[in-house]
Structure 1
Amino acid sequence: MKTINKIILISLAILTYSCEDILEEDITNDIVQIISPAKDTKIESNVVSFKWNSLKGADKYRIQVFTTDQVLLLDSLTTKANLTLPLNAGNYLWRVRAENYAYQSTYSFPSNFSTTIPDDLTNQQVILSSPDNDKFVNFINVTLNWIPLNKATSYSVKVVKTSTGEEVFSKNDLTDNSVMLDKPTLEDGNYEWRIKAKNTDSETKQYSARKFNIDTTSPNQPKNTLPADNSTQSVNTAVTYTWSIPADVGLAKSPISYVVEFASDVTFNSIVDTINSNATTLQYTSTTKGVYYWRVKAIDGAGNIGTNSTGYKFTVN
């Protein structure tokens, strides 16, 4: 009997912790070792590359940057052991800690550094503002925007199709901080845009780069699966609705979400409810008896809208 009681107590103790807590490594007393910028580092650039040693058991890292009077400028999470950030000229402190699902390490001791922005552009970078990296759009006249770089007098931009390496757009000696792609046609696909800044004496050592996706193909038409057409349901009872959709065969496959509509008429002129879903299933409860219809359409991440599925009828008793 004593043995059985011990087993029960041990089992109860284990159940007080989640599975994630049991599997995650306790890093509470660990400290992340910073690499750069080290104490008293002087940086001549508009960007700072933060680096630190990886910590065993960490899933991500939280980096914080302060002014010297302790004003928090940045609090960011990253899964990498490095992060490059734009900073104005000034004096700063930074620290980093490791995190996983269940635990957080101790912050590293704050390290101070300073930045100045010279006339020489060699070690500087152009900061890109839009479109966001890997954004999906459904048009070809994409406008590229960046933050003006101090001391730069002109910019060179080029756009490359990543699948082939073909340069599809190029402009030099731009004095504005934006440019619109004036190509009459661009195929669906993934593109990388690159920009370099120049002045009379220097230019940035490397191109700043981001990617975007052109997707002008509408999603396929979904097909209702369950509940079947002409089904009967009980009022105030949750019902699982499911549908299928053919695989996307377009060159740029943007993520798909769905809009499910419930109506009291077969023509869907009287919509009684609209539900959004990121999966091909959802649960819905009808609270009023009557005859209803449901259908679903797909919308992709570029904004393309597909055709509605054929409406299915159901009766709520």
Structure 2
Amino acid sequence: MMRCWTKVVTLLLVALVIQSCARRKLPPGGEKLIELLEPYDGAQITTFPINFDWTSYSGAKIYRLQIFHADAPNSPFLTLASDISSYELNSPLEDGRYLWCVSISTDSSNFTIHSDTFEFTVKHRVELLFPHDGMTLNLSRVYLNWRTYPDANGYRILILKDDSIIWDRIEFNSSVKTSVPLFDGEYKWCVGVRCGDDSTFGHYSDTLKFIIRQRPLRLISAVPTPGSARDVIAHENKLFVADNQAGVTVIDISDINNPRTLSTFRWEGHWYTRRVLWDNLFGVLITGDYR
């Protein structure tokens, strides 16, 4: 019985060695004198183009770069030539695992000097569509749009001003409109994605810039309300807001640049305030409510 187990373990070890060598073996007669630099073994690629770099070899006439799918290590799907010790691949690769290696010819025909084989993984970043980088918008609430990411299970949208996050939102569609007003100024935004059962967000997009310039009207200030504002009127130095489920919210606007909430009046029962009117004849506030 012990001999059988010994044979099984030995066979497994031999199989592992053969598999490892199949990935990294050199062609017959090959000599490994090239060192691969980038992408390093195990690297994750999120952007394009991909830069392949390796050590130069004195006397090399031409370098041959080969790229394989990880599950087909003996069949390169890309064979590229370079007369320097680097190559910039501009064609995007699909998400997945890849192998790469380099060979050298000293006579422009036979490739007899070879590198080891390195593995890298491609994981695309989220691609932002709108607003474009540097775009100027005449808005206070901005529509953001990005390309749908395969197997996405939620996106995290960040808006920054002066390098501080001012809006952090999780969305399950590939577009959203900001729920907070944006004042004149310069902003940056980016989007990350959560894939499958992963609980963290990654594959973040590039960070793009947009500018808010509101004409002819300009947003001066803003104040949140406890409900969902449906209507508003101004009387003297106050705003009366029909604040839906929160009733009526009163806001002091004596300092227009720094409005502040004074009070909120909620009705007993499940009443929702949709309209507000001020009656100058009787000096009373009239509300329109429903439930």
Shorter-chain TM-score tier: 0.3 to 0.5
Is the radius of gyration larger for structure 1 or structure 2?
2
TM-score, normalised relative to structure 2: 0.36
* Greater relative contact order, per chain length (Cα 8 Å cut-off, separation 6+): 1
TM-score by length of 1: 0.33
